[in-house]
Structure 1
Amino acid sequence: MGRAAALLFAREGARVVGCDVNEAGCQSTIAAIRNTGGDAAALQPCDPSEQEQAQALIDFAIESHGHIDVLYNNAASVHFAPIEDMTLEMWRGTMKGELDIVFNVCKAAWHHLKKRGGSIINCGSVSGKIAYEVLPALAHSAGKGGVIAMTHQLAMEGGKHGIRVNSISPGLVRTGATSALIDNPEWFEPMKRKLMLNGQVGTPEDIAYCALYLASDESKWVTGADFAIDGGTTAW
């Protein structure tokens, strides 16, 4: 989903600054953007769940372009397990990979955004609002629910500075991490029943287009909102 957003933003004229812990994947995305005439650079390897690395990412963006207009917090890492099997290390790792990672980057970018306003887009999840029968998402649900709640608070604190803050809560999206599960009928069937559009799963581009809207001036009166891009999953 991060790659899809980077490609779409660049195609619309954004100067993209990204990061990744996967250097090969990051280089591939940068090359894809530059090959079509886009402007992109990245800090790699970079793990924004570490405060120093999040600060380095924002410093890199400021050094490259002088300011930040849009901050898209898409990166995350997570452990899935039911409570009986969820260790404290797994729990804390998920909180670091889903909550700390958003806090660190927002904290590092905040004083830059205060100077001229801007848009922060956080990636929540339907798991922050509902439970799935076949997804042992205890830590993930807590982490993404926290992201949605943080978004509301940041929107309130940022409004007087012209900073808009919204979140996107994707449903089941086909990615490299989910394809094997989606192709497993035993796992997918309960998930499919929650998808209103004939069981159709989402694509990374479906999420990226919502992020593009929230980054644009077309959403200038939108803040503190969570957008469910989930094929109707949370509507019933």
Structure 2
Amino acid sequence: MADRLAGKLAVVTGAAHGIGQGVAQIFRQEGATVIGIDRAGADRDCDLLDEEAVRALFLAIGQEHGRIDILVNAAAFAVFDWIETLSYADWKVTLAGELDIVFLPTQAAWPWLKASGRASVINFGSANARHALEGSPALAHCAGKGGVLAMTRQLAMEGAPHGIRANTIAPGFIRTEATARHLDQDPTFRDKVLAKNMLKQLGEPQDIAWAAVWLGSDEARYVTAGDFPVDAGCTGW
């Protein structure tokens, strides 16, 4: 079924790479008007950890379009290291890159999401918020994604009176430019991922994008505060 997002104004952060890029592409295919945001290479360039820059950008988007129907917070970055060697600076950088980078765009977009009256906020948890993957030094990443789950439940409660739904997608291992380095650095890592998966395959950005299409569409009008695993069954054991 085409045009599932026809007439909707969607803002996608992290749209120049990986999952965000895949979401932006499929959203356009499904009829949405998409504004992609990234540090470079998207429709709008912005440092999403610069509070004033984020506020100015979303004010401009809101004034131009009058509303935001879908906000997809796909931008994220993390430092992967073990507890024994993870620096406090890298811990803080990761929490900013997992939590602040969701909070600032959502807060700036909030008046325009309210103006929609039937808006959808889509955040990204992770299989790592629910299980530990042997061989993956993801301490700060796991903490950040656990925070996204809690933040999104609260957003669902605060948004409900305004017709704003908020949900998370929890990807398993998705093959992107960023995750490829883990496969390159550890030849056994792919086997460790697949050992956790019921479906013995790695995910691609479009696998996540299709879940986001549903959550952004009116098909999911009765869905909020949910967390949806798209992970080949790795958290289902």
TM-score above 0.5: yes
* 2:208 alignment partner AA: I
Q: Secondary structure at the match of 2:71?
A: strand
Q: Give me the whole-angstrom Cα distance separating, in 2, the residues matched to 1:96 and 1:90.
A: 10
Q: Give me the whole-angstrom Cα distance separating, in 1, the residues matched to 2:114 and 2:37.
A: 23
185 and 218 in structure 1: CA distance in 2 versus 1, 3 angstrom threshold: same
Is 1:212 paired with 2:206? no
Deviation of 1:140 after TM superposition, in Å, equals 0.2
Partners of 2:198 and 2:233 within 8 A in 1: yes
Q: Which residue of 1 aligns with 2:15?
A: none
Deviation of 1:53 after TM superposition, in Å, equals 2.4
Deviation of 1:185 after TM superposition, in Å, equals 3.4
Aligned length: 217
Deviates more, 1:54-63 or 1:209-218: 54-63
* Aligned with residue 196 of structure 1, among 175, 198, 201: 198
Which 4+ runs in 1 deviate beyond 4 A? none
Q: Which residue of 1 aligns with 2:153?
A: 152
Q: Secondary structure at the match of 1:233?
A: coil
Q: CA RMSD, aligned part only? A: 1.3
Unaligned runs of 5+ in 2: 1-18
Q: Which residue of 1 aligns with 2:9?
A: none
Partners of 1:79 and 1:93 within 8 A in 2: yes
Q: Secondary structure at the match of 1:228?
A: strand
Q: Which residue of 2 aligns with 1:186?
A: 188
Q: Give me the whole-angstrom Cα distance separating, in 2, the residues matched to 1:150 and 1:217.
A: 23
Unaligned runs of 5+ in 1: 27-41
Is 1:79 paired with 2:97? no
Q: Which residue of 2 aligns with 1:34?
A: none
* 1:82 alignment partner AA: W
Give % identity: 47
Deviation of 1:180 after TM superposition, in Å, equals 4.1
Partners of 2:66 and 2:112 within 8 A in 1: no
For residues 114-193 of structure 1, what are the structure 2 equivalents within 5 Å?
114-115=114-115, 116-182=117-183, 184-193=186-195
Partners of 1:174 and 1:182 within 8 A in 2: no
Deviates more, 1:89-98 or 1:182-191: 182-191
* 1:122 alignment partner AA: N
Instruction: Give 1 or 2: higher helix fraction.
Output: 1
Residue-by-residue CA offset, 1:128-156 (whole Å, 9 max, x unaligned)? 11111111111000000100111111101
Q: Give me the whole-angstrom Cα distance separating, in 1, the residues matched to 2:62 and 2:35.
A: 10
Deviation of 1:215 after TM superposition, in Å, equals 0.3
Q: Give me the whole-angstrom Cα distance separating, in 1, the residues matched to 2:20 and 2:60.
A: 18
Q: Which residue of 2 aligns with 1:67?
A: 67
Partners of 1:172 and 1:202 within 8 A in 2: yes
Q: Give me the whole-angstrom Cα distance separating, in 1, the residues matched to 2:232 and 2:96.
A: 28
Partners of 1:133 and 1:190 within 8 A in 2: yes
Q: Secondary structure at the match of 1:234?
A: coil
Q: Secondary structure at the match of 1:178?
A: helix
Is 1:96 paired with 2:96? yes
* 1:196 alignment partner AA: M
Residue-by-residue CA offset, 1:176-211 (whole Å, 9 max, x unaligned)? 1122433653122221100111x2010100000000
Q: Which residue of 1 aligns with 2:24?
A: 6
Q: Give me the whole-angstrom Cα distance separating, in 2, the residues matched to 1:87 and 1:185.
A: 26
For residues 29-68 of structure 1, what are the structure 2 equivalents within 5 Å?
42-44=43-45, 46-68=46-68
Is 1:234 paired with 2:199? no
Q: Secondary structure at the match of 1:166?
A: strand
Q: Give me the whole-angstrom Cα distance separating, in 2, the residues matched to 1:74 and 1:62.
A: 19
Partners of 1:170 and 1:207 within 8 A in 2: yes
Deviates more, 1:174-183 or 1:116-125: 174-183
